[in-house]
Structure 1
Amino acid sequence: MKKVFISGCYDILHGGHIQFFKEARALGDHLTVCFASDKVLWEHKKRRTSIPQDHKLALITALDIVDQVVIGDCDELGLDFKEHFLTIKPDILAVTEDDQYEAQKRELCAHVGAEYVKLPKTPPQFTPVSTSSIVRNIRTPAYAPLRVDFGGGWLDVPRYAREGAFIVNCAISPMVSLTNWDYEKKSGLGGSGAYALLNGNDGIESELALGVGWQDPAIIRETGLCVWRSGDKPVLHFKRNGDFLRGHMALHYTDIPHDTPANADNQRDYNLVEKAGQLAKEAVFEASLVKLGEAVRTSYEAQIKEGMQELPEAEGCIGRKYAGGGWGGYALYLFENTEDRDAFVCSANNNRPIEPYITIR
């Protein structure tokens, strides 16, 4: 009887694992599968098991193509199966072509006279997935907020970062999903950050690769009303739930195209941008709607100096500005009271109310 041995974490079984088991079993007459114990998984990959160890044992044992299942508990990196391997003395150790521990495994095979066999990459019978991608999909939310910014925008772009400066923004509802996106797209509300989150990705690196800043994916992942330190990466300075904003915010859609990357290198008054961020930071600390209105007006002053068109005025509005990089898309309007906000919303089809959004983590 030719005995075949394979090992892995197999933390969440998927079709790719089953295909590998079948191809390994075809090399001989008896297949032993060893999976890493909970202890090994934690020590070597620094994560807990996705399903209890005894459940994993029962699942793999139930497969007709598997003749024996053992649990690897050896502390040697890449050789958690060593003790079982030396006891069973298989004829073949089957591995995938991307095996990271080939040298150690070949040496172990030589010790018992086993053949080290790399299974070639064959066309997948299933759409390729990984355990990490499955876990990421499980953790991916069905809905995500978008965001508005009050002051300090552009200081999240690494090349424009200023030590001691702040970026202030807020996650908003109504939220969006991949099948229900009730906002204009590419409109300055951080939609790319929300889209990345809804697809199980971290959008920070992709945003930076576009030559823009990290604030969109950072606030959309964090939620709440947040003060961030200017710099190469998001560092949260202060956060609150934003309840003092409830009933005071609205959006106005300008019907002008919005393109942040195309405007990243515009000439702008960064001293004024920094001043707006400082005012917004103080407003969040004090939960002051009046001071936040001053921050928004200061941001708007910097946008007008940059060359953007003036936004329509509104009764009871204490501050207005283009969302995100401006030059079109949505504009944020901040109102002194809810009655004026609601009257603004009812005055035109391209106006809508928004509220602060926070989730408990």
Structure 2
Amino acid sequence: MIHVFVSGCYDILHAGHLQFFREARALGDHLTVSFASSEVLWRHKQRRSSLPDDHKRALLEGLKMVDAVVVGRGMEEGLDFKDDFLQLRPEILAVTEDDKYTPLKKSLCAEVGARYVVLPKTPPQFSPVSTTQIVRFIRAPEAAPLRVDFAGGWLDVPRYARDGAYVVNCAISPLVSLRDWPYERNAGLGGSGAWAMLNGQDGIASELGLGVGWQDPAIVAETGLCVWRSGPRPSLEIKLEGAFLRGRMALYWTGRPHATPDLANNRRDYEAIARASVVAREAVWRGDLALLAEAVRQSYAVQRAEGMQPLPGIEAPGRTPRPLAAKYCGGGFGGYAVYLFADPAERDVACTAGGFRPIEPYVKLG
């Protein structure tokens, strides 16, 4: 009889583990699976076990391709199963191609004359998933806000970051979820960052991987009215509830979707963007709506200089009620625009007249 031995954390069993067990079992006549105890996980992975050890053992023992289960309790990293391995003296130790402890395991095999077998990568029978991805999905929120940005957009893109400049934005409600998305898509409201978070992904890495900045997932996760320091990674300076914005914000849909990554390499006036961000930062610290509107007007001037179309009610005189300021959200050239109004009554009149929808600042308490 050929005994095969495999080891791992197996903290959250998934289909990839089952495929590995089947392929390992096919190497011989008997398969022993060793999993790291809760103490070992805590010591080497700095995380709690998903299940008590006796429950995890029962699950593994219930798999038809598994003949025996042992619990690795040794504290030597990568060899928590050493004592059981030396006692059982299997003929084969099977591992995956990405095993990190090859030298240690080969040396252990030499002590008992076992073969060290690396199972080649075979086409997965299911979409690959890791324990880390599963944990992130479990922890993912059921709903998330989107965001509007007032000034400093593009200064969150690492290659455009500037010392002494800021990104000023605000999380908004209504919220979105995987089943309910009450906004247009590709709209400049940070939807890609929110979508990544709702699916249990690392929103920051996801956005930076697209070649754009971190502000969307940063504000979606943080919530509130925030001032961030420009830089390669999120650095929060101040977060407020944004009470002075309540009843004073609305969105206008331009009727044209946009894609921020397609705009990342456009020429723009980063000096003017940085100046507007400093004004917006001061407005947040003061809780000054008029000063924030000035920062938004400065940001909009940069957008118009890039060739974006004029927004309704901003450059045409005589509109009633007349907004304090407006700008395209995100990269612009379409998508939503955020409007600021002097008081809730004016905002509500604009929304009743059509074309605008009210939004409110959103902050997650606790």
Taking the aligned partners of 1:89 and 1:256, their CA distance within structure 2 comes to 67
Spell out, residue by residue over 1:229-258, the C-alpha distance to the aligned partner (whole angstroms, 9 max, x if none). 011222111112223322111001122443
Name the CA distance, whole Å, in 2 between partners of 1:284 and 1:231.
Answer: 19
- Tell me if structure 1 keeps the 8 A contact 2:32–2:66: yes
Does the 8 Å contact 2:272/2:298 carry over to 1?
yes
Amino acid at match of 2:213: G
Query: Residue 322 in 1 paired to residue 325 in 2?
Result: no
What residue is the counterpart of 1:335 in the other structure? 341
Aligned to 2:316: none
Structure 2 residue aligned with 1:351:
356
Instruction: Assess, with a 3 A threshold, how the Cα gap between structure 1 residues 30 and 205 changes in structure 2: closer, same or farther.
Output: closer
Q: In structure 2, what residue type is equivalent to 1:272?
A: A
- CA gap of 1:243–1:108, structure 2 versus 1, over 3 A, is same
* Amino acid across the alignment from 2:328: Y
User: What is the rounded CA distance, in whole Å, between the counterparts of 2:67 and 2:235 in structure 1?
Assistant: 52
2:11 aligned partner, one-letter code: D
Per the alignment, in what secondary structure is the counterpart of residue 129 of structure 2?
coil
Q: Report if the CA contact (8 A) 2:137-2:201 is conserved.
A: no
Question: 1:76 and 2:81 equivalent?
Answer: no
1:157 partner letter? V
Shift in alpha-carbon separation, 1:283–1:52, aligned structure 2, 3 A:
farther
Deviation at 1:267, TM superposition (A): 4.1
SS class of match (1:317): coil
RMSD: 2.3
Q: Which amino acid aligns with 2:199?
A: N
Deviations 1:178-202 (A, max 9, x none): 3332222222212222222233222
Q: Which amino acid in structure 2 is aligned with residue 351 of structure 1?
A: F
CA distance in 2, matches of 1:19, 1:268: 52
Residue of structure 1 in register with 2:241 after alignment: 241
Q: Which runs of 5+ in 2 are unaligned?
A: 314-319
Partner of 2:160: 160
The TM-score, its normalising length taken from structure 2, stands at 0.89
CA distance in 2, matches of 1:195, 1:153: 20
Question: Which amino acid is the alignment partner of residue 283 of structure 2?
Answer: A
2: distance between equivalents of 1:123 and 1:158?
A: 36
Report the counterpart of residue 293 of structure 2 in structure 1: 293
Cα pair 1:316 1:337 within 8 Å, conserved: no
> 1:18 — aligned with what?
18
- Distance of 1:293 and 1:302 partners within structure 2: 14
Per-residue CA deviation, residues 257-295 of structure 1 (Å, 9 max, x unaligned), is: 434344434443333322221122122222222322222
Structure 1 residue 209 displacement after superposition: 4.4
Q: Which moved more, 1:173-182 or 1:149-158?
A: 173-182
Distance (Å, rounded) in 2 between the aligned partners of 1:245 and 1:303: 23
Shift in CA distance, 114/263, structure 1 to aligned 2, threshold 3 Å? closer
Equivalent residues of 1:226, 1:240 under 8 A apart: yes
User: Is 2:183 the counterpart of 1:178?
Assistant: no
Alignment match, 1:39: 39
Matches of 2:36 and 2:60, distance apart in 1 = 13
Alignment CA distance shift 1:263-1:122 (3 Å): closer
Residues in 2 aligned to 1:140 and 1:42: alpha-carbon distance in whole angstroms: 22
In the aligned structure 1, how far is the partner of 2:49 from the partner of 2:43?
11
Cα deviation for residue 359 of structure 1 reads 2.3
Give 1:35 shift.
0.6
CA distance in 2, matches of 1:53, 1:257: 51
Measured in 1, the distance between the counterparts of 2:22 and 2:211 equals: 46
Report which stretch shifted further, 318-327 or 209-218.
209-218
Q: Which residue of 2 aligns with 1:137?
A: 137
Alpha-carbon distance between aligned partners in 2 of 1:262 and 1:66, rounded to the nearest angstrom = 51
The alpha-carbon distance between structure 1 residues 108 and 245, as it changes in their structure 2 partners (threshold 3 A), is: same
1:103 is aligned with what amino acid?
A: P
Aligned to 1:55: 55
SS at match of 1:207: helix
State which drifts further: 145-154 or 204-213. 204-213
Q: 1:194 to 1:92 in 2, by over 3 A?
A: same
Equivalents in 1 of 2:267, 2:104: separation in Å? 58
Q: One-letter code of the match for 2:178? A: L
The one-letter amino acid paired with 2:106 is: R
Q: Secondary structure at the match of 2:5?
A: strand
Contact 1:86 1:112 in 2 (8 A): yes
Instruction: State whether residues 219 and 226 of structure 1, in contact with CA within 8 Å, keep that contact through their aligned partners in structure 2.
Output: yes
Q: State the Cα distance separating 1:122 from its structure 2 match.
A: 4.2
Residues 114 and 265 (structure 1), Cα distance of their counterparts in 2 relative to 1, 3 Å cut: closer
Q: CA deviation at 1:105?
A: 1.3
Distance 1:104 1:261 in 2: 45
